[in-house]
Structures are given as C-alpha cells and as structure tokens.
Chains A and B, each alone.
Chain A
C-alpha cells in the first residue's frame, strides 16, 4: 500500500536537507511496516496490545441509539492508553525510529494528545523526546503539557503566528532540518510529505480492522455509515481504511465549523478549520492537499474550539477521497460540538474529547429531534470516539460559561 501520491495530492515538498531522510524513512516503512522485516509488525501489534490496551471495544450506545432511532455503535479509541487513538501512530513511529537506529524523537502537537502519546511511547521505548506546541495550545491543554513533562519529554513552546498546530509543525520541521541525521520526526496525523500520510494511515488502520471484525461479530454485517472527526485526518483515515472498498458503507469526515464558515481574508483568518469542505488545493508542510488559504496563496489561520482540529490543512489522501466522492466532508460548529460533548457525557457516561464531540454533533444535526434533513443516515452507524475529554475540561468549563447551551450544567460553581 506504499504511496506517495493520491491522485494529484500528496508528494514531498520539503527542503532538500530533509529529502535523504525521507528516502531513508520510505525505505524503512516499506521494509518494516509493509513487509514485516525483522518481525517489526509483530512487535508493534504486541506492544499495541500489552502497552496500548488494544483491542478497544465496539460498544452499543443505548441512549443514543434510542434518541436517534437507529443502532449507534462507539469505537472506543478513548480507551487506548493515553486517552486517544494517537498512541497507535506514535507507538508505531517511535518503534520504527528504534528499528532505524535514530537516537532522538521530535514531535509537534495541537491538542497535546499526539505529544502525550509520543512522550509515552518514547518513555516506553527509552528514546529521548522533544515536543513542539503552540503557545495558545499550551494554554488550552495544560493537563497534557504536564503529562508530557511527567513522561520525561521536553515541551518547546512556539510563539510564532497564532500559536497553534500549523506553527508547531513548521517549527518541528525546522528542528528536523537541523538534526535530521540522528532524529526521527513523529508526525501526528496523516499529513506531511510522503511516506507519512500512508504510514500514519497504516498505523491507524488498526481501528477499522478491529471495527470491521467487531461489527461482524456483534451484528453480522457491515455498518451503514462510519463517522469520525477530521483535523489532520488520522483517526478518520484509521476508521475508514478497511471500509474504503465497501461502497455500501458511507464515510463521513466531520470537520470543525468553528464559529462560522465566513472568512475574513483581510485578517488572514478563517474562523473554522473546515479545509476539506471549503479549502482549495495548495502546498503546505510537505504535501499538496486542500488548504485554507487566501487568494494569494498565503495560509490562513484556522479556528476551532478544539485544538486538535485547529489546522489549516488536511491529509492528502482524505482530500483525494473527498474529490472521488468516497468520503463526504461535513462540519459542525463550536456550539454544536460543545452541546454534543455534554450530551455524550450525560447520556452515555463517556466524556469525549472536544474533537470527538464534533462527530456526535453531526449525528445530532442529521438524526436528532431538530434534524435538518440534509443527510439520511443509514440504520447502523459507527462513531469513532477518537479520544477522551479529560484534557479539555478547563476549556469546556470556560467555553460553556460563555454561551447558552440547553443541556449544559451550570459551571459557575467551579469559579470558586
């Protein structure tokens, strides 16, 4: 499945200094991941099981099934060690770095989940690790900053631009350009230059591999639809990968609609992160893909209430699948995501990551009591619960406080 292009998307648009490392990585990916050389994949799967806690359950959501009058199943990636699907990829890449003989790991993080997963994997496999994180995200995701530090990783704040994932990725690439001979860059999603998008997809595809088998076991059939939130698109690609050939399974990538889909071109800011739904083709961070950019080609800052979706680009394969009509891009706004956050917490006893809450916001939007009728969901739906929301509690309290949500508890009590 090694691939550097998905239609016209993908490629390797990076400084020359990195190209030899990317060739070396491509070679390692093909040998160890695709051909299981030296038993790499066996070791990866064993560690995913013993350290990572896989397989994760496919759980029927009883209250949501009733509310939406269809079978709603949850793929519980929130139960992976560290609290998100991100560990699947981080563990795979840190292990690969070890097989490649690299001495040092660097990573970027938005929500802090990828940074946390990488820090954990690096501690587990005994490799030094540094993580770049935008200043704004550090403030939004403090628990994860502490977790990274506690696991022994350095967290390097990035003050450039708006201080979110886009800037953190650029800064990590700069570090990599300096240290490429000894360092592996564990990129956090299905983005960046080839082979990252394909490799990260392969590491994440364990999600749909399990989900497919679990669907057969639980109800003897494939689901009618799979829903997953899309930032860079790693949990989306992971959840879709093993269903791509099953044309009867609808695939929905749910993006962050932010506060609005309107764009302030003067300010260079998109108040959303819906690059699949609204972006134009361009080149960012090593790949040709769909991007939020102004008419001159300058990359726009994005916005989402959830830092893990707050990115101006998206994985090239996802962009390709959208153009092919295989994946449907949709989006829900900040308010709907927060409301869904509270609903899942109250109805199912699962506190989801704000990223994940977007997928549930979409479910409510198209199948809830006030459904807008735009999308007819099939009778069985799998929602990928990409992560748990502990990391988001501070943001949720603050954001909930600022708006009128019908289903939220009062947050005043927390103000002391």
Chain B
C-alpha cells in the first residue's frame, strides 16, 4: 500500500470524532467487529445503536448499506434490510448517516455490488463515485459479499486510489488456488466465514472455523471470524482457536429487532446493545488468554 499512506491519515467526520486511519491497526489486540444495518429501524435510533456498540468496545464497525436482494443474509438481517429500506435508506442517506455518526472507530461499509456500481449520475464511470463519496465521509473499507476476487478489479483500483481497504470473505469451501488469489487481494483484514450458509446466530462454534484458521495461518493479514457468533463465550472460543477478531451481526440485529417489536425506548435497546458488545469484546480478550503461546514471542 505504499504511496497511499498520506491519503490514509485519520479522517474527521461532521460530528468531529476522530477515526483511526487503519483497519489493520484495529487488530493489535483481539478485536470485536460488530455489524448493524444502517437505518434499522430508522435513521435516528440507528445512530444511537451504532454509537452504543462503540461505547461497548467495538474496534471496527461494519455498517450495512441495505440492498433489496441480500443473497448472503439469513432471515434476521433480511428483515433488518427491509426495515431500513422501508425507513427510506438510500446510498446517499447512508453517507449522511456515516457523517452524522459520533464514533472514533474505523467504519467498513458492507453492501452488495449493484449499489456500488450504480451510484452517481447517469454517465459517471461505474464504482468510482461511490468509493469517492465513501472516502469523503470517512469510510475505511468495504465488504461486498457478492463480489468475488475474480470480478473485483474495478473496485480494487478505485479503493487503491482512495486508500480504502477491500476486505474479502474466505469460506470453508475456499482452498488452494482460490485462497491464494483472494489473499493476494485482501487488505485491512480477511473475513473468515465460520461455516457454510448465510448469516444468522448459532449456538456452537464449527470445526470449519478451526480448519479455515489453520489454512490461513501463513498469511500475514488479521483474521476476523464471522457467521453465527452470538455470545462472549463463542467469541472467546474463536479467538482461542487463533482468530484476531470476531465479527458479530445477527445477534446484535436481533436486539434491535426485539426492541423494535416490543416498542422499547431507544435508550433501553441501546443499553442492551452496549452490554452485549461489552460481553463480546471481553470474550474476545479472554479468548486470547487461552491461546497457546506461539514459540519465539
């Protein structure tokens, strides 16, 4: 990433919060990486919820920009997408959302390729306007679940130009040549999909996680494990198995959904999110204690 470092200095957002510039730095200690769909169930409450995650100890936040066909998501996040879209979320509103956020944690935009591709005026080149706008509001990187490494050249170039990271997902089925191809493109961190399937909270940690982490050991990029993690205990297990961080989505979205359905005050749901975030972060830290010490360090 040489040459782009000057563009990667910390960015300041509308509410004046400073965000550290590098995703990789966020993994100096076992990281907690929460996901929420921006604007779920509405713009204002969602700001509170994301800020609560930061207070609870988030090291990076993945913010979902909802797409109408979220093929990689299970029912929990699908419903969040519906709520957010019904609340009027659009790509431009999403950028306003990021600007309005008062957090000093690096932010990653999680969305589907068509929204990135279409952003901008008619006649604009594809992809670039979106990346430019994301950089402007202080986004540090992207996760695009329907964009495999083979199709990512356009976005890769635009990200490099603006000093943004492109996070790729490695699945349990990813092996051999594909793994090399992906790992040569990843920057920031690699998203290790803990199991086959779609997003959604589960109660056990899969063997597939351990196998995937073993395959990735040789690659020098932070490894964040996601898909199915819902408790501090699981977070600890995953970190103990060698992960540098845990990504948690559906379990947090469940808290938002529950608050919405039960008509709870926003502060109460925010408190719940904060305490679940704290549990997950503490779990991640506790996991590191259980990790066998690597030789020589």
Contact = CB atoms under 8 A, between A and B. Distances in A.
Interface of A: 11-21, 23, 160-161, 166, 170, 173-174, 177-181, 268, 280, 282-286, 291, 293, 295-299
A12 B148 contact: yes
Nearest to B79: A160
B170 A181 contact: no
A280 B145 CA distance: 22
B169 interface: yes
Most buried by B among A14, A15, A23: A15
B289 interface: no
A297 B198 contact: no
30 contacts: A13-B148, A13-B151, A15-B169, A15-B171, A17-B169, A17-B172, A17-B174, A17-B196, A19-B150, A19-B171, A20-B178, A23-B178, A160-B78, A166-B69, A170-B69, A173-B71, A177-B71, A178-B196, A178-B197, A180-B196, A283-B113, A283-B114, A283-B117, A285-B71, A293-B114, A293-B118, A297-B114, A297-B119, A298-B67, A298-B115
Interface in B112-148: 112-115, 117-119, 145-148
Given A16-B168, A16-B169, A297-B115, A177 B198 contact: yes
A12 B117 CA distance: 15
Contact of A296 (B115, B150, B172, B178): B115
A298 to B, nearest CB: 4
Contact of A178 (B168, B178, B182, B198): B198
Interface string B182-202: 100000000001001110000
Nearest to B93: A296
B173 A14 contact: no
Most chain A beta-carbon neighbours within 10 Å: one of B115, B118, B172:
B118
Interface of B: 67-74, 78, 85, 90-92, 112-115, 117-119, 145-148, 150-151, 168-175, 178, 182, 193, 196-198
Contacts of A170: 69-71
Contacts of B196: 17, 177-181
Given A170-B69, A181-B196, A284 B114 contact: yes
B114 A282 contact: yes
A371 to B, nearest CB: 35
B72 A15 contact: yes
A15 B151 contact: no
Which of B173, B178, B196, B198 gathers the greatest number of chain A CB atoms within 10 Å? Answer: B173
A411 to B, nearest CB: 36
Contacts of B198: 174, 177-178
A14 B78 CA distance: 17
A268 B86 CA distance: 11
A299 B68 contact: yes
Contact of A16 (B67, B70, B119, B148): B148
B71 A15 contact: yes
Contact of B85 (A174, A284, A298): A298
B115 A16 contact: no
Contacts of B182: 16
Nearest to A298: B68
A412 B92 CA distance: 52
Nearest to B182: A16
Contact of B178 (A13, A15, A19, A293): A19
Contacts of A16: 145, 148, 168-171, 173-174, 182, 193
Given A180-B196, A297-B118, A13 B74 contact: no
B79 to A, nearest CB: 9
A233 B84 CA distance: 33
A283 B173 CA distance: 24
Given A11-B151, A19-B178, A181 B173 contact: yes
Contacts of B119: 296-297
A283 B146 contact: yes
Contacts of A15: 71-72, 145-146, 148, 169, 171
B134 to A, nearest CB: 15
B65 to A, nearest CB: 10
B114 A299 contact: yes
B67 A17 contact: no
Contact of B118 (A12, A13, A296): A296
Given A16-B148, A20-B173, A178-B196, A299 B69 contact: yes
Given A14-B148, A19-B178, A285-B69, A296 B173 contact: no
Given A170-B71, A296-B91, A298-B85, A17 B118 contact: no
A191 to B, nearest CB: 13
Contacts of B68: 161, 268, 298-299
Contacts of B78: 160
A187 to B, nearest CB: 13
A282 B117 contact: yes
Contacts of A283: 112-114, 117, 146
Contacts of A18: 173
Contacts of A178: 196-198
Contact of A180 (B69, B90, B170, B173): B173
A298 B151 CA distance: 20
Kindly list the 6 A-B residue pairs having the minimum CB-CB distance in the complex, ordered from nearest: A297-B118, A17-B171, A178-B197, A298-B68, A20-B173, A283-B114
B74 A14 contact: no
Question: Most chain-B Cβ atoms within 10 A of its Cβ — which of A14, A21, A285, A297?
Answer: A297
A161 to B, nearest CB: 8
A256 to B, nearest CB: 20
Nearest to B144: A13
B72 A177 contact: yes
A75 B168 CA distance: 47
A18 B175 CA distance: 12
Interface core residue of B67, B71, B146, B151 (most chain A CB under 10 Å): B71
A285 B91 CA distance: 20
Contacts of B91: 296-297
A258 B114 CA distance: 25
A185 B113 CA distance: 22
